Amino acid sequence: MQLRYSFRLRPDAYQQKALAKAFGCSRVVFNDAVRAREDARRAGQPFPTAGQLSRKLITEAKRTPERSWLAEVSSVVLQQSLRDAESAYKNFFTSLKGERRGAKMGAPRFKSRKDARQSVRFTANARWSITGSGRLNLPKIGAVKVKWSRTLPATPTSVTVIKDAAGRFFASFVIDTDPAADATRMPESDRTIGIDLGLTHFAVLSDGTKIDSPRFLRRAEKKLKKAHKELSRKQKGSKNRAKARLKVARAHARVADARREFHHQLSTKLISENQGIAVEDLTVAGLARTRLAKSVHDAGWSSFIGMLAYKAERYGRTLVKIGRFEPTTQTCSTCGVKDGPKPLNVREWTCGACGTVHDRDHNAAINVKTAAGLAVSACGAPVRPGAIPAQREETGSHGFPTEPRAA
């Protein structure tokens, strides 16, 4: 299994200038590749191959006065930019054919130097290395200081240098993990759990545990509002506006980092303590179009479930997602009688059949566990058919977690 390990970089002024040059050259090659394909499409000609693009946009372009500065950065960075363009078109065409999961993807667009996030990727043939003093030595950039928060479990296959909207630099290493070593880190457990995700509490477990919602965005709203107000008052194009924009980006980055850290700690705790975990397959996109949109985005359910999925696969756990239309809130977990829908303000209710008083969220968590087949009857047999192994989800490299994640 492949994982990403991200670490903060501390480049000096010269290295920041060299990285900016690498970001710019990579962006230009990507845009040239998109333009070449678009020109071929308009002319009714077949798309140029990857080899043709590499020869024309990199090898030959370096000999021209207009693109001679491409030679100032590593050629591997430019080749990887062409690969990104190829992948973007491949994803676009598979999405058009309906062979790609998720929302429809649009055609690749030109990149802007004003994009909030910029990155370059170095593969093994770029001859990058980690020095004896713990610095990351990158070709034509130099030995960059790294803030190591943990040791790498294996030799990385590639490294991506990322600059985010807040002006921070990160190195994201791709690692091939050892399944046997991962299995020893998480010994098998006989516990199973059902999780009901919500807004009043972030999660309520089937054993009665309630985990409060940190509400990171709500807590930081006052500071964010002030930062946005200062930004709106600055003249466009001025240096003061650039400083204010950076201040806003850093405020949002602190919120995102705190939320991600919370998700990592909670998901790791649940995975380490339970052999089987059941959750609801929530329609987050639909809920984000309601009046609860801000609270739904603040909770970050999709990110949390994604962490549970890849950690369950890594450590040999079982994650089951039950259908979103399962009446977990309406069903009595004691006698199984469906008692009908209830408004959100009803937090406790009494079953009309057996008279049991239920906490709304706790009852739902028990029903989630039962619907997933993780509940066990008095005779020791599963209430429903056994659980299925967790499936790998498509992942990206948009975040900077404090723990590794699937690559």
One DSSP character per residue, 178-212 reads: -HHHHHHHS-----EEEEEE-SSEEEEETTS-EEE
Beta bridge partners of 143: 137
Contact predicate 38/209, CB 8 Å: no
Comparing CA positions, the residue from 252, 253, 244 lying closest to residue 224 is 252
Q: How far is Cα 9 from Cα 291, in angstroms, rounded to an integer?
A: 39
> Residue 53's pLDDT is what?
95
Token pair of 348 as six digits: 């406790």
Q: How far is Cα 319 from Cα 314, in angstroms, rounded to an integer?
A: 11
End-to-end CA distance of the chain: 8
Positive or negative CA dihedral for 383, 384, 389, 392?
negative
Lookup result for tokens 């010269």: 14
Beta bridge partners of 5: 173
How many residues make up the chain in this entry?
Answer: 407
Q: How far is Cα 294 from Cα 220, in angstroms, rounded to an integer?
A: 13
Q: Please write the tens of the pLDDT for every residue from 97-110.
A: 989 887 889 999 99
Query: Residue 120: what are its φ and ψ, rounded to 5°?
Result: -140, 150
Reduced to 3 states (helix: H, G, I; strand: E, B; else coil), residue 308 is helix
> Residue 343's pLDDT is what?
85
Whether 196 is catalytic: yes
pLDDT beneath 70: ranges in the chain:
375-407
Lookup result for tokens 């200038």: 17
Q: How far is Cα 158 from Cα 76, in angstroms, rounded to an integer?
A: 11
Q: How far is CA 244 from CA 17, 65, 166, 228, 231, in A?
A: 22, 37, 11, 8, 5
Contact predicate 181/153, CB 8 Å: yes
Q: Radius of gyration (Cα) for the chain, nearest Å?
A: 25
> Residue 404's pLDDT is what?
55
Whether 188 is catalytic: no
- 282 backbone φψ class: left, alpha, beta (φ>0; ψ -120 to 50): beta
Whether 393 is catalytic: no
Beta bridge partners of 7: 171
Q: How far is Cα 271 from Cα 192, in angstroms, rounded to an integer?
A: 10
Q: How far is Cα 36 from Cα 41, in angstroms, rounded to an integer?
A: 9
* Residue 297 neighbours by CB under 8 Å, 6+ apart: 217, 288
Checking DSSP bridges between strand 276-280 and strand 318-322, what pairing results, if any?
parallel
Reduced to 3 states (helix: H, G, I; strand: E, B; else coil), residue 352 is coil
Contact predicate 119/400, CB 8 Å: no
Q: How far is Cα 18 from Cα 214, in angstroms, rounded to an integer?
A: 40
Q: How far is Cα 276 from Cα 278, in angstroms, rounded to an integer?
A: 7
Reduced to 3 states (helix: H, G, I; strand: E, B; else coil), residue 360 is helix
The residue annotated as part of the active site, out of 32, 164, 196, 313, is 196
- The kind and range of the H/E element at 322 are strand 318-322
> What are the domain boundaries of the chain?
2-177, 182-395
Q: How far is Cα 358 from Cα 340, in angstroms, rounded to an integer?
A: 14
The residue annotated as part of the active site, out of 164, 280, 298, 339, is 280
Q: How far is Cα 382 from Cα 372, in angstroms, rounded to an integer?
A: 10
